[in-house]
Amino acid sequence: MDDLIVGLLRHRGAVLESNPLAIGTPSIRPLGRISEPPIGLNNGPARLHTTVWHIPDGWTILDRVELERWIVDTLPGHHWILSERPLAPNLRVPEKRGVVFEIWSPDQLSNWLGEAILSGEIFARVSSFDGNEGSVESSEIEEIRLESAWFESIKHELCTMAPVIDLETWIERNPIGNDIRPTAVLVEARIWSVLGILRGPESNTERAWWGVLESPLFGGFDVLEDPVFLGHRPDLRIIPPLTWMEENIVLENISRVTETRKTYSPNSNSSVRIHGTWSLDPSSTEIDFVSVLVPAWIIEIPGSSNSILNAVSGTLHPYTGVTK
């Protein structure tokens, strides 16, 4: 089980370093200290500098006395204990200044591993990090880190996307009427971080990441490619959506916009490449979101209905809200 836990964390991009100062007890064993956290969301408290511990299966329950023996020599910091042994009822955990820890019960550990099995992560390849396949997966993880770096950089503040469209040029190319009265605004939207496995023909799979923009006012979902954000927020009116979609509807739309056509080889010995449809596996999908602001113009035309122009994509949409 030690190798399985470490293998899954490494498969998700984590780097675990040995720590000779993590002593533990005969039944609470250190697996390593996280120097690079895993990608994705379903990793419990596997954060930077957390020490991971494993309690193998045994005859007795895990009680306070055993945890007290463990905590005596435990260094300050964050710790994650994964237990195969049931926890004592109404377990009162010991405390030590500077030591913060979370214990996962056998049910939590089983659910975590079960999700990985359903998503196809736990397979023969999880333990093969010393071979060429391990190099391929390390490269895949690094590619995902690079692709999602811009999302990580905007997680802690409300950012504004940079406008791409020049209004005068757009009006020249898209004559929509006379005496146009534009009003600059900011439209509230959400960007979803999507991590999952694409499944293609012949059991081909590929782990991938997307940033997907959800904007109810602009009528849909769009995959973003290297978006640019302003270093400041313009002092403009912010237009919120009437409502946000439920998460199950969000997932349906994300599956739709991430579906793709790609080439693949029908077998490893063939040089023939054919096209096939690759779809996101819902059971493997991990999502998170941040709120963002999208620049736009409300377009008023006398004698005509109002519209709103997306200043990033250049698309025009009906608008029935307040104009001022």
Residue 101 vs residue 133, higher pLDDT: 101
Q: Output phi, psi for 99, to 5 deg.
A: -100, 120
Percent of the chain with pLDDT over 90: 43
Instruction: Identify the pLDDT of residue 269.
Output: 64
**Whether pLDDT at 200 is above 80:** yes
Lowest average pLDDT, out of 76-85, 119-128, 158-167, 194-203, goes to 119-128
**Whether pLDDT at 59 is above 50:** yes
45-74 average pLDDT score: 89
Q: How confident is the model at residue 270 (pLDDT cuts 50, 70, 90)?
A: low
Instruction: Identify the pLDDT of residue 131.
Output: 47
**Whether pLDDT at 129 is above 60:** no
**Whether pLDDT at 134 is above 70:** no
Residue 118 vs residue 13, higher pLDDT: 13
Lowest average pLDDT, out of 18-32, 38-52, 147-161, 306-320, goes to 38-52
Query: How far apart (Å, rounded) are the C-alpha atoms in residues 312 and 158?
Result: 17
Instruction: Identify the pLDDT of residue 110.
Output: 87
Lowest average pLDDT, out of 38-42, 95-99, 181-185, 305-309, goes to 38-42
Q: How confident is the model at residue 184 (pLDDT cuts 50, 70, 90)?
A: very high
**Whether pLDDT at 127 is above 50:** no
Among candidate residues 134, 284, 266, the one with its CA nearest the CA of residue 209? 284
Pairing of strands 77-83, 260-264: unpaired
Q: How confident is the model at residue 163 (pLDDT cuts 50, 70, 90)?
A: very high
CB burial of residue 235 (10 Å; 0-12, 13-18, 19+):
exposed
276-308 pLDDT, tens digit per residue, is 888 988 877 888 999 999 999 999 988 788 999
Strands (DSSP E) along 29-157, which ranges? 29-36, 51-55, 77-83, 99-104
Query: How far apart (Å, rounded) are the C-alpha atoms in residues 61 and 59?
Result: 7
Instruction: Identify the pLDDT of residue 158.
Output: 93
Instruction: Identify the pLDDT of residue 126.
Output: 45
Residue 241 vs residue 3, higher pLDDT: 241
Query: How far apart (Å, rounded) are the C-alpha atoms in residues 294 and 237?
Result: 11
User: Where do we find the tokens 């509230």?
Assistant: 188
